[in-house]
């Protein structure tokens, strides 16, 4: 298993325990990955040499100075990418140089311990801690000399950072890259007066919190930064760290925080001026318009209100040329800020902010702050006619257009929100960035917005909106009017499939081709390559002999129609024009598993049994296909989705893979080959070497399925047995389908069709041992009576249904046991109650 690719950074290989160890792959073996400066194209000896010149820098080791929330998160990300990381922080003030390391490193050690317990997890695997060494900034500062990249993540105070960089100038390696994680301080000011060679290698690298999960990485060079280093860090962030890298100018708060500060302030100010409630604003500014559920005020509580206030105070004097800065000094907002700070209501970290979780009548309720009285009001459900009418409209851009054209209170709020945002975006180009693409990507990657400002503007109509914007006091930049006057109606040009091909550049007064990495394949961009579709799944010709099977059901759930499209994929795979099959999709989730449709039971078990048999036969056919089948797995791969992933010849998994056989949570057992496959993976290797250890492997498979365990990452999926050491993990989600295609074609060069191997069934004694474990769990209160009933069904499958002694059995024997247990369980009243509860609440029922 390899993590990421190169750029001179170590790949990571996992053993059966899931522990990681760095392995440096020679550049020449990975030069194909970079075939030119953007990573596009196929390899040739000539562009290998060109790529090697362009990738003169390598990052095998790093030092992070500052072990707080951001520093620790950055260290965790680097360690997860296989980079040996030194994490430093100040020693405790009451310690002395002669004290032991445990005393001197108390601060960094405590922060590292907290990092390991963080929720959501900051580490891809607990084993990543092996890649992190700790120290303090007095006794261990010289160790920074061994780092290829030094990242500063200390307190956001200019003089503190400048003093640190002055010290670093004396110790860092002459080849090292040095960067600051500042969220808005001028990059040039941090190295004023420092040696030119140090300044040449210095730039800003602004991660967004939490670094593991948020895709945006802002790269901010200053005037003296070597352009080769800037280019390298843009590629390194993209290729190795899996980030969406955005080039920013050295302007206050860069792109992401500049926009969030100003648009967030405008959203609050308008609410205060026009009497909108906290709950109304969060309803209007969340998923309805393609933003996260945290919306506006909930996001403030998550970040911390004190931080938002500090950002506003620091930003105002830093942008005297920006007329919109007066938003930061809004009298009503200033009074609100003072009141909340005085009360210590800073958000989730203090228990109160714009929301307060209260216990009423034995249950928790989220009360919202009344912006007028500063009292908390009980939960309410805001209603707007426009929202009721248009909330289900697709695509998102059309929904936003209809909402902002509505005349009710909801429509007026959303109109002014967007009028400010879009006009402001036009005014900040080219001040803070030369590219509208960078503005849109910063919103999407840094704050999980589905559309950026200029994409929204295209959707609602640029020419149609400008007159209204300016009439209402939202001035639009002159270059937008020039664009329209020249006959260019949109900021982006698109092909027949709707994929962006070019974008408008104000400096060139014309469209510029959008540079694309050929590995960044999307199903949406393959419209003309479709060769089959039944509405549940579609097949596409990926070129070069690769066929793609893409899911298209709601949440990519497994339906009979989707299974039918899988069989069609296998039929086409037999044609000479195809060398390999790739399974993947553009969805937010790979697959949530089987579609839990209670109506399927109305005609009895015959239909259910047929569907199960068909799914089992499909997963077996995929696994033993005559040509390689590579699965591109991402996000959630649950239940039947996990079974399809495990059916592949190989898997290319995104690092953020949450995979598990979760059927026990709805009162069932896996019956698409999942029990058989996990048993084969975890027990067969042990059984081939004798019976010692077989029970441990069996117990691992049993506990993983019985507790519906879901991996917290692709690395954990490997440790659980859902992925194998032959599978590949990639950091960049955008490259997933392209990497899967490349692996599938590589495997096709000398592929030998697999043959089904028998599976080791441990028999009656092992069954008794598992039943004893179930009884212990039940007695300890970890399992209900019905949990135990399901677990006993599972134990019977995994041990071979009461075989008198251990023996090797056919895969079909175990598949039959899976199906038999499933059909029995699905008719149980308590299982049906669990299924119904899951459908109604999206939560498991423990009955």
Write the pLDDT tens digit of every residue in 248-260: 999 999 999 999 9
- Is the pLDDT at 721 greater than 70? The verdict is yes
> Phi/psi class of residue 818: alpha, beta or left (left: φ > 0; alpha: ψ in -120 to 50)?
alpha
Asked if domains 58-247 and 528-757 share a fold, the reply is: no
Res 52: pLDDT: 37
Res 56: pLDDT: 66
105-115 mean pLDDT:
97
CATH number of 256-350+378-476: 1.10.1040.50
CATH superfamily of 528-757: 2-enoyl-CoA Hydratase; Chain A, domain 1 (3.90.226.10)
Res 496: pLDDT: 86
Task: Please identify which residue in the block is written with the tokens 């562009």.
Answer: 47
- Is the pLDDT at 607 greater than 70? The verdict is yes
* Confidence label for 32 from pLDDT (cuts 50, 70 and 90): very low
DSSP for 444-469, please give it.
Answer: HHHH--SS-HHHHHHHH-HHHHHHHH
With the C-alpha atoms ordered 479, 481, 483, 485, is the resulting torsion angle positive or negative? negative
Res 527: pLDDT: 82
pLDDT: is 158 or 362 the higher one?
A: 158
Res 214: pLDDT: 96
- Rounded CA separation 261/602 (Å): 55
**Neighbouring-strand partners of residue 637:** 591, 659
CATH superfamily of 58-247: NAD(P)-binding Rossmann-like Domain (3.40.50.720)
Average pLDDT of the chain is 92
**Number of helices and strands in the chain (H, E):** 32, 25
- Rounded CA separation 711/715 (Å): 8
- Is the pLDDT at 282 greater than 90? The verdict is yes
Give the rounded percent of residues in the chain with a pLDDT score beyond 70.
93
- Is the pLDDT at 598 greater than 80? The verdict is no
Q: Which of helix, strand or coil describes residue 632?
A: strand
Work out the number of other CB atoms within 10 angstroms of the CB of residue 91: 23
* Confidence label for 498 from pLDDT (cuts 50, 70 and 90): confident
Res 361: pLDDT: 81
396-406 mean pLDDT:
98
**Kind and range of the H or E element at 797?**
helix 785-799
Domain boundaries, the chain: 58-247, 256-350+378-476, 528-757
9-14 mean pLDDT:
28
* Confidence label for 5 from pLDDT (cuts 50, 70 and 90): very low
Give the tens place of pLDDT for each residue, 178-212. 999 999 999 999 999 999 999 999 999 999 999 99
- Is the pLDDT at 725 greater than 60? The verdict is yes
pLDDT: is 34 or 500 the higher one?
A: 500
Give the rounded percent of residues in the chain with a pLDDT score beyond 90.
87
Task: Please identify which residue in the block is written with the tokens 């598949």.
Answer: 815
């Amino acid at each position: 298993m390899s993590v990421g690719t190169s750029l001179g950074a170590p790949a990571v290989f996992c053993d059966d325990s899931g522990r990681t160890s760095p392995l440096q792959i020679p550049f020449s073996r990975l030069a194909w990955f970079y075939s030119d400066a953007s990573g596009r194209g196929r390899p040739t000896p000539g562009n290998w040499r060109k790529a090697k010149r362009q990738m003169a820098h390598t990052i095998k080791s790093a030092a992070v100075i500052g072990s707080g929330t951001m520093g620790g998160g950055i260290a965790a990300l680097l360690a997860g990418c296989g980079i040996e990381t030194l994490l430093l922080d100040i020693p405790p003030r009451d310690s002395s140089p002669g004290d032991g390391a445990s005393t001197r490193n108390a601060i960094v050690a405590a922060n590292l311990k907290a990092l390991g317990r963080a929720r959501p997890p900051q580490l891809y695997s607990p084993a990543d801690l092996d890649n992190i060494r700790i120290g303090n900034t007095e006794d261990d500062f010289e160790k920074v000399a061994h780092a290829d990249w030094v990242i500063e993540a200390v307190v956001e105070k200019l003089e503190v950072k400048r003093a640190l960089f002055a010290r670093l100038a004396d110790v860092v390696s002459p080849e090292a890259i040095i960067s600051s994680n500042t969220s808005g301080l001028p990059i040039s000011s941090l190295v004023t007066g420092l040696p030119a060679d140090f300044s040449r290698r210095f730039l800003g690298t602004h991660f967004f919190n939490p670094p593991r999960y948020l895709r945006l990485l802002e790269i901010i060079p200053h005037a003296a930064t070597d352009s080769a280093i800037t280019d390298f860090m843009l590629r390194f962030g993209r290729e190795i760290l899996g980030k969406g890298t955005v080039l920013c100018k050295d302007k206050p708060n860069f792109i992401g925080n500049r926009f969030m500060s100003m648009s967030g302030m405008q959203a609050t100010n308008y609410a205060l001026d026009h009497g909108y409630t906290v709950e109304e604003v969060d309803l209007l500014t969340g998923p309805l318009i393609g933003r996260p559920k945290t919306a506006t005020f909930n996001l403030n509580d998550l970040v911390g209100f004190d931080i938002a206030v500090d950002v506003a105070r620091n930003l105002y004097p830093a942008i005297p040329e920006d007329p919109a800065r007066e938003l930061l000094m809004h009298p009503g907002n200033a009074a609100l800020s003072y009141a909340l700070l005085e009360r210590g209501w800073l958000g989730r970290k203090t228990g109160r902010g714009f929301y307060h979780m209260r216990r009423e009548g034995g249950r928790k309720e989220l009360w919202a702050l009344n912006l007028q009285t500063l009292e908390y009001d009980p939960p309410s459900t805001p209603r707007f006619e426009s929202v009721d009418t248009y909330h289900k409209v697709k695509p998102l851009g059309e929904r936003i257009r209809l909402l902002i054209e509505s005349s009710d209170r909801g429509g007026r709020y959303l109109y002014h929100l967007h009028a400010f945002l879009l006009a402001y975006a036009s005014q900040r180009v080219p001040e803070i960035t030369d590219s509208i693409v960078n503005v849109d990507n910063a919103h999407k990657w840094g704050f999980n917005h589905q559309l950026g400002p200029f994409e929204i503007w295209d959707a609602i109509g640029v020419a149609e909106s400008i007159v209204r914007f300016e009439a209402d006091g939202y001035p639009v930049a002159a270059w937008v009017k020039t664009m329209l006057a020249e006959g260019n109606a949109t900021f982006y040009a698109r092909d027949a499939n709707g994929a962006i091909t070019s974008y408008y550049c104000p400096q060139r007064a014309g469209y510029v081709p959008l540079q694309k990495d050929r590995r960044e394949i999307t199903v949406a961009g393959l419209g003309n390559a479709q060769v089959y579709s039944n509405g549940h799944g579609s097949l596409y010709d990926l070129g070069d002999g690769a066929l793609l099977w893409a899911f298209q059901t709601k949440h990519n759930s497994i339906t009979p129609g989707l299974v039918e499209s899988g069989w069609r994929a296998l039929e086409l795979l037999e044609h000479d024009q195809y060398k390999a099959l790739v399974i993947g999709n553009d969805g937010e989730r790979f697959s949530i598993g089987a579609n839990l449709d209670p109506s399927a039971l109305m005609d009895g078990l015959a239909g259910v049994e047929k569907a199960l048999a068909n799914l089992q036969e499909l997963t077996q056919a995929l696994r033993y296909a005559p040509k390689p089948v590579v699965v591109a797995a991402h996000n959630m791969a649950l239940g039947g989705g996990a079974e399809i992933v495990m059916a592949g010849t190989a898997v290319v998994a995104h690092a953020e893979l949450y995979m598990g056989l979760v059927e026990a949570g709805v009162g069932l057992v896996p019956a698409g080959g999942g029990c058989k496959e996990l048993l084969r993976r975890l027990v067969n290797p042990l059984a081939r070497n004798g019976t010692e250890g077989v029970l441990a492997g069996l117990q691992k498979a049993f506990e993983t399925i019985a507790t519906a365990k879901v991996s917290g990452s692709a690395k954990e999926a490997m440790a659980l047995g859902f992925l194998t050491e032959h599978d590949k993990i990639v950091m960049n989600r955008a490259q997933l389908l392209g990497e899967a295609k490349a692996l599938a074609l590589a495997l096709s060069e000398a592929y030998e069709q697999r043959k089904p191997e028998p599976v080791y069934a441990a028999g009656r004694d092992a069954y008794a041992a598992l039943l004893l474990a179930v009884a212990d769990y039940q007695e300890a209160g970890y399992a209900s009576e019905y949990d135990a009933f399901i677990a006993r069904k599972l134990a019977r499958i995994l041990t071979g249904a009461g075989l008198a002694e251990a023996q090797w059995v056919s895969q079909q024997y175990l598949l039959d046991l899976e199906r038999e247990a499933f059909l029995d369980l699905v008719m149980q009243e308590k299982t049906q109650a669990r299924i119904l509860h899951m459908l109604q609440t999206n939560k498991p029922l423990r009955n």
